[in-house]
Amino acid sequence: MKVSLRWLREYVDLPDDAESVARALVALGHEVEDVETVTADWSGVTIARVLEVAPHPDADKVRLCQVTVGGDPIPVVCGAWNFEAGAVVAWAEPGAVLPGDFRIGVRTIRGVESNGMICSERELGLGDDHDGIIVLDDDAPVGTPFADWVELPDTIIDVTITPNRPDAMSLVGLARDLAAHFDTGLRIPAPEPTTVAGTVGTRVVIDDAEGCPRFVLRQIDGVHIGRAPYRMRRRLAASGVRPISNLVDVTNYVMLELGQPLHVFDADRVNGDFTVRRADDAETMETLDGTTRRLDPTDIVIVDADGPTSLAGTMGGLRSEVVDTTSRVLIEAAAWHPPSIMRTSRRHNLRSEASARFERGVDPNLPPLAATRAAELMLATGGGSLVDEVVDVIARPIEPAVISLGVDYVARTLGPGFDSAHIAELLGSIGFGVTGTDPLEVTVPTVRPDVVRPIDLVEEVARLHGYERFPETVPAGPGGGWSPEQRRAMQLRTVLAGAGLHQAVNLSFLAAEDLDAFAYPADHDGRAVVRVVNPLRDEESAMRTAVLPGLLRSIRHNRSHGRPDVALFETGKVFFARPDATDPRIPAQPDRVAWAVTGGYGATELGAEARPADIHTATALLRLVAERLGLDVALEAATEPGFHPGRCARVSIGDRTVGYVGEIHPRTAAAYDIDTRVAAAELDLAALTAAVDHRLLAAPSPYPQVDFDLAFVVPDAVPAADVVGAMHQAGGALVEHLAPFDEYRGVGDGQRSLAVRVRLRSHDKTFTNEEAAAVRAAMIEAVAGLGGALRGVA
Amino acid sequence: MDDRLTHLRATAPDLILRAETLDALHEVEQSVVGRTSPIAEIRRTLGQLPPEERPGVGRAVKEVADELAELIDTRRAVLERAAADALLVGDRVDVTLPGLSIPTGGLHPIQRTIDEICEIFIGLGYRVAEGPEAELGWYNFDALNTPPDHPARAESDTLYLEWEHHDELLLRTQTSPMQVRWMEQHPAPSYVVVPGKVYRADTIDASHLPVFHQIEGLAVDEGITFSDLKGTLAHFAHEFFGARTKVRFRPHFFPFTEPSAELDVSCFACDGGQSDCRVCRGAGWLEMLGCGMVDPNVFTAAGYDPEVVTGFAFGMGVERPAMVRHGINNIRHFVDNDLRFLEQLA
């Protein structure tokens, strides 16, 4: 909300400097977005009265005027025709400088001396109007600087009002807070318009007391539609509201001033009396913007004999709109049920300054004052006579709330230092009535619908006391820090980062291209998609069921930017359309860790190519993670959508499958424009980070080792893991190290050679050659049990 | 003494010291103590001397021979070391070449920021919890004192999910629902921070993503006051942004706290002093987080007794402080996963 500081000062005494006011607003909870100083971009312009207008003796398009600023008549030639003698104008005297460094002097125009210039809005940079000169209100003080009259220089403070404070969406509302802050007086308008005896021609019945607690009508006869006074127009413009015509401008002016949105009907275009009620499903109404709207019972309407003629609190009807010829008007000021107005303005997509206020809550007892204030201003700007009757229908009286507030209750939240006198003083400063000492009985004016509970009063006390005045203390919690699982997750991320992978963060959505690329079968988890009801983009219409697709998109991004070697990992949630095991009200949403590595990976010599990533990269990373986290993971060949069918392993811990590791299927990779192998894994994070028992460490044995290699020819179908497992079992506790180190396929169809390096060591003695040979033999025999034979041995 | 010995003793040391190479030294060695040297000659002819002279000459020869041999050994060591040094010089490389290329990885800047913020609160005795991202409207809104017709619940702001098992499943718009879940599961006192992803129906642009991160904080105990909120968050600001940082608490409104506040920190780039500051745009302050005293209705919804405990809560974005600290002006960098971006923090 744009606040003209000059206008605001009409309601409250404030410090001279705008910065102090802005700081006070912030301290009161009204966020200041911007403070802008507006200055008059001219000098030497004075308010003058035109005494006489005569034809120019030698020119048809201009006239010769005599103006006065209090002294002798001054001749000025003027080309505008929108005024006559008696008009009050803005006169630039000789020596004045107008915007654009336009210097004004004495000129001779067709033989006639012209002193200075009578100005248009455009010439002063006040607006676009150049059809005529500025004609000021009759009461504008002749002889005083024009800048003072238009309240320049001014400071415009742009304030954001929080949704709980509809009362502050007005100058008087802000003035009330500021008066409390600066401990100065508040001046609320007290209109006393002249009235004529009579009755309002339109009677009002409220059928919906919930929707409309109070409805006020006042009537003015014989009003003229025209321009609003210049100063009012300036104030509206400074507040960001476009001036339109005197009656509309007055309603906006009163809304900005008091916070009460108003509506004006042309009384002669209203047929009969008003009923305020819920609309029927079948009803329609043409609103001011020319749109015919289908109504329903969520809408509150004002109905006359011809049907709905105004959409309550939102927009008036076209049928009863004020037009140029209007002379009899009805001023409506009403209280509306905020949720009803919110629903109506949303459903019809009609957001206005009025609905913004009604949605949040306008003082339900403000209508009489607001209607009378508007009437006063309309009389002043459009003439006419105000009927003395006020139609004021109260369907649901809304009384001020009375809240009991214990001093202890305040202290519990705000700490010590708040006694009942201090609390009473603070609350009293914004017009709350306080009686009693402990508890205090606080009467909350209806202008503050947000204050209904004791805690609401505590907030007011804190706010008015000033947040900056509270001391600062730091309580300590009972401790605990990261949980073991969180620590292990951090360790996992650190291990992967240390292995040269960068952590990625992707949006948690799944695109249609991902489902296609991964080709999940119908019953696969990957298709158990949780869908977004209201996505903004197709790419955000479903929640991801795997982390890898996002990583493949990230690889595509990097490859397209000249980075063929990419190593990424990500941790995060995936979502499945089935109830969660621990909270079945929500979908299962386990955490995952995934990695995807493509292109060269590993340390390289200068100029050399790194080894291209493949399944062995993926399994090496898994082994690294497992070793560092103390996990005993097992791999077995498997197929899984998205993975290369010959290069994919199921990963298990104990008898539980925790994910898959391998290479991305070339067709899947191709869907992401990747034509290189992608080493990948997708694993359940909780399974990896579940706390493990303390790991026992073995003391190094002092006895010497025995090293030997064994090369076996084994059937292709026998995985290395089985060979290693059998040898391990045969060697038992004596095995210190045992791992395949070479695979060779040139040994005949369906077979391969697998070389295994073995190191034996005892913890309690030095081996004899015979003992070592026995273990070796046992290992060979164990592998023979799998169909393998020592290579080179028939 | 034999003239030959005297001569040798006078001239040989110089020859030895002047030998510049191991080969030259070898030649000198041959000439002064070798088989054809005067010493060898004298030793060979020792038997021809009268017996009474033999011991004296023999001693003199040995004395000179030992003396020269020591000189030669010393010289040889010097020359050998010099030769080895010369080899090392020849082994020199261009030390400015890049050397081996070892892959570098790293944690995402968002992860680093989350970890760092959590560590600050762990230092104050807090625990860390995470919660579901697909969440019930009850936890995200109702339990947080947010009425059914609150604007934040509109489909224009909140992403809703299809779900047949419970009413109103949505993507949490804040980490605040974990306040309620935590209190449901843990008796007071509760000191906890909750990092995680949150979601909004936002179109992607330089400052908006539909998925971003927040950290929620909750401190509930007997006797927690507004001063505790101020002190704790001021401590956080000083730890995270530096001890010079000034803080400002402004009254604000959130449905689930009362009184509520926003915390501003003085602009780290200009200390609040520059009207043309690129970071704070002249405001001097940066909005950092929202906070407040936990509303009694939230305690009731979560099963805590608001007559017994009080507490404060806060919620902050992660991307924004990370952007501010790293001078990033486009939030999309955080989800592009561009190595050229990520490598800078490796």
Of A512, A506, A504, nearest in space to A671 by CA: A512
A118 phi, psi to nearest 5 deg: -90, 130
Residue B100 is predicted with a pLDDT of: 86
Give the Cα-Cα-Cα angle A677, A681, A686 (nearest 5 degrees): 170
Mean pLDDT across the stretch B80-100?
88
Residues of A in contact with B136 (CB under 8 A): 585-586
Of A496, A504, A688, nearest in space to A601 by CA: A496
Strand A195-196 vs strand A385-387: parallel, antiparallel, or unpaired? parallel
Residues of B in contact with A601 (CB under 8 A): 103
Residue A635 host element (H or E): strand A633-637
- Cβ–Cβ gap A473/B201 under 8 Å: no
Q: How far apart are CA A426 and CA A474, in angstroms?
A: 27
Residues of A in contact with B343 (CB under 8 A): 502
Residue A59 is predicted with a pLDDT of: 86
The amino acid occupying position B203 is: T
**pLDDT tens digits, residue range A63-83?**
999 999 999 999 999 999 999
CB-CB neighbours of A620 under 10 Å? 17
**pLDDT tens digits, residue range A608-630?**
889 999 999 999 999 999 999 99
Q: How far apart are CA A162 and CA B168, in angstroms?
A: 27
Strand A502-503 vs strand A566-573: parallel, antiparallel, or unpaired? parallel
DSSP A527: G
**pLDDT tens digits, residue range A539-581?**
899 999 999 999 999 999 999 999 999 999 999 999 999 999 9
Residue A55 host element (H or E): strand A43-56
Cβ atoms of B182 and B194 within 8 Å: the answer is yes
**pLDDT tens digits, residue range B104-145?**
899 999 999 999 999 999 999 999 999 999 999 999 999 999
Q: How far apart are CA B159 and CA B173, in angstroms?
A: 8
Local confidence band at B1 (pLDDT 50, 70, 90 cut-offs) = low
Does position A261 have pLDDT exceeding 70, yes or no?
yes
Cβ atoms of A709 and A758 within 8 Å: the answer is yes
Which B residues, 248 through 277, put their C-beta within 8 Å of a C-beta on chain A?
Answer: 248-253, 258-262
Of B92, B86, B70, B52, nearest in space to B12 by CA: B70
The amino acid occupying position B29 is: E
Mean pLDDT across the stretch A451-466?
97
Which B residues, 166 through 185, put their C-beta within 8 Å of a C-beta on chain A?
Answer: 166, 169, 171
Torsion sign, CA atoms A563, A565, A571, A575: positive
**pLDDT tens digits, residue range B166-180?**
889 999 999 999 999
Which of A532, A595, A597, A625 is most worth mutating to test chain B (most B CB atoms within 10 A of its CB)? A532
What's chain A's average pLDDT? 94
Nearest Cβ partner for A478 among B99, B133, B189: B189
For residue A582, what are the CA distances in angstroms to A564, A627, B185? Answer: 42, 30, 12
Sheet with A2-4, strands from edge to edge, namely A2-4, A154-160, A31-38
Q: How far apart are CA B109 and CA B344, in angstroms?
A: 10
Which of A31, A405, A467 is most worth mutating to test chain B (most B CB atoms within 10 A of its CB)? A467
Beta pairing partners, A735: A760
Closest chain A C-alpha to B317 CA, distance in angstroms: 16
**pLDDT tens digits, residue range B21-52?**
999 999 989 888 888 888 888 888 888 888 88
Q: Which residue of A has its CA nearest to B247?
A: A468
Give B55: exposed, middle or buried? Use CB within 10 Å, 0-12, 13-18, 19+: exposed
Closest chain B C-alpha to A376 CA, distance in angstroms: 36
For residue A395, how far is the Cα from the chain centroid? 38
Of A138, A136, A155, nearest in space to A231 by CA: A136
Closest chain B C-alpha to A300 CA, distance in angstroms: 17
Residue A87 is predicted with a pLDDT of: 93
Contacting residues for B164 by C-beta, under 8 A, at least 6 apart: none
The amino acid occupying position A647 is: R
Nearest Cβ partner for B230 among A472, A569, A580: A472
| Percent of chain B's residues with pLDDT above 90 | 62
Residue A439 preceded by cis peptide, ω within 30? yes
Q: How far apart are CA A514 and CA A193, in angstroms?
A: 72
For residue B233, what are the CA distances in angstroms to A151, A474, B237, B255, B317? Answer: 43, 9, 6, 20, 14
Three-class DSSP labels, chain B: CCHHHHHHHHHHHHHHHHCCCHHHHHHHHHHHHCCCCHHHHHHHCHHHCCCCCHHHHHHHHHHHHHHHHHHHHHHHHHHHHHHHHHHHHHCCCCCCCCCCECCCCECCHHHHHHHHHHHHHHCCCCEECCCCCEEEHHHHCHHHCCCCCCHHHCCCCCCEECCCCCCCEEECCCCCHHHHHHHHHCCCCEEEEEEEEEECCCCCECCECCEEEEEEEEEEECCCCHHHHHHHHHHHHHHHHCCCCCEEEEEEEECCEEEEEEEEEECCCCCCCCCCCCCCCCCCEEEEEEEEEECHHHHHHHCCCCCCCEEEEEEEECHHHHHHHHCCCCCCHHHHCCHHHHHHHC
Closest chain B C-alpha to A206 CA, distance in angstroms: 25
Q: Which of B56-65, B142-151, B247-256 has the highest mean pLDDT?
A: B247-256
Residues of A in contact with B293 (CB under 8 A): 413
Mean pLDDT across the stretch A344-362?
92
Beta pairing partners, A653: A633, A656
DSSP A299: S
A307: alpha, beta or left? (left if phi > 0; alpha if psi -120 to 50): left
B317 phi, psi to nearest 5 deg: -75, 155
Contacting residues for A105 by C-beta, under 8 A, at least 6 apart: A94, A95, A116
Placement of tokens 């490796």 in the chain: B346
| Percent of chain A's residues with pLDDT above 70 | 100
The CA radius of gyration of chain B, in Å to the nearest whole number, is 42
Q: How far apart are CA A704 and CA A210, in angstroms?
A: 93
Does position A694 have pLDDT exceeding 80, yes or no?
no
Closest chain A C-alpha to B105 CA, distance in angstroms: 4
Residue A670 host element (H or E): helix A666-671
Identify the weakest region by mean pLDDT among A199-208, B100-109, B187-196. B100-109
For residue A537, how far is the Cα from the chain centroid? 18
Residue A625 is predicted with a pLDDT of: 97
Torsion sign, CA atoms A604, A606, A608, A612: positive
Residue A793 is predicted with a pLDDT of: 59
Q: How far apart are CA A406 and CA A427, in angstroms?
A: 14
Cβ atoms of A201 and A48 within 8 Å: the answer is no
B99: alpha, beta or left? (left if phi > 0; alpha if psi -120 to 50): left
Two tokens, residue A785: 């049990």
Residues of A in contact with B310 (CB under 8 A): 412-413
Dmax (CA) of chain A = 139
Cβ atoms of A136 and A149 within 8 Å: the answer is yes
Residue B143 is predicted with a pLDDT of: 96
Closest chain B C-alpha to A512 CA, distance in angstroms: 17
Q: How far apart are CA A757 and CA A735, in angstroms?
A: 11
Number of Cβ pairs < 8 A linking chain A and chain B: 260
With an 8 Å Cβ cutoff, is B215 touching chain A?
no
ipTM: 0.89
Residue A355 is predicted with a pLDDT of: 93
- Cβ–Cβ gap A535/B159 under 8 Å: yes
Q: Which residue of A has its CA nearest to B310?
A: A413
With an 8 Å Cβ cutoff, is B227 touching chain A?
yes
Which of B171, B197, B250 is most worth mutating to test chain A (most A CB atoms within 10 A of its CB)? B250
Residues of B in contact with A471 (CB under 8 A): 227, 230-231
Residue A374 host element (H or E): helix A367-382
Residue A436 is predicted with a pLDDT of: 95
CA atoms within 13 A on the CB side of B149: 13
Dmax (CA) of chain B = 133
Residue B43 is predicted with a pLDDT of: 84
A200 phi, psi to nearest 5 deg: -75, 130
**pLDDT tens digits, residue range B191-245?**
999 999 999 999 999 989 999 999 999 999 999 999 999 999 999 999 998 999 9
Does position B54 have pLDDT exceeding 60, yes or no?
yes
Two tokens, residue A6: 């000059």
Residue A511 is predicted with a pLDDT of: 86
Local confidence band at A794 (pLDDT 50, 70, 90 cut-offs) = very low
Of A189, A323, A207, nearest in space to A258 by CA: A189
| This prediction's pTM | 0.88
Q: Which residue of A has its CA nearest to B220?
A: A477
CB-CB neighbours of A108 under 10 Å? 9
- Cβ–Cβ gap A502/B106 under 8 Å: yes
Mean pLDDT across the stretch A518-525?
93
- Cβ–Cβ gap B132/A583 under 8 Å: yes
The amino acid occupying position A6 is: R
Does position B269 have pLDDT exceeding 80, yes or no?
no
